[in-house]
Amino acid sequence: MERTLNIVNSLESAGIIGRYAIGGAVGLLFYTEPAATYDLDIFCYLPQSGVLIDLEPLYSHLAKLGYESTGEQVDIEGIPVQFLPPPTDLVKEALDNSVETSFEGVPTRVFQYEHLLAIMAETGRPKDRARIALSLESTEPDDAKLKDILQRHQLLDRWSKIVV
């Protein structure tokens, strides 16, 4: 994972991707107990022409480095990585407010715990509802911060149905 993050950092430094942060189940690892996941979700700003996002410069650059894409992922140093533009206002806010941290000495950014919880509520998939329950058993969020996020993104009702 350290080698993978070094490559992602180099992509940001070279301007191939904009600001990035780790989200998804791997993001939760920075706060809670491990959850099963298949890939590393890197949320990032990507070059955009009008409403279209252009992944070609990213994939071409990675291919020159020897990393090939298969489907939605690029295998970088043995880790399947998915580069995702922020699809909702909530995810954009999470990316903009991600926190600086490190993994095995490699600098990186990760979504805040409360944003990760809110995104799982927004997504609402069965696996996300299960991860919310497991996460809350392991680590308590900042209730005021979480409530503020949920309220601003009209997710309080959905949250209350998930954490019954």
CATH number at residue 116: 3.30.460.40
Each residue's pLDDT tens digit, 84-142: 999 999 999 999 999 999 999 999 999 999 999 999 999 999 999 999 999 999 999 99
> How many separate domains does the chain show?
1
pTM for the full predicted model:
0.94
Per-residue pLDDT at 72: 85
Please give the residue range of the domain that contains residue 62.
2-162
For the chain, give the mean pLDDT: 94
* CA dist., res. 133 & res. 159, Å (int): 11
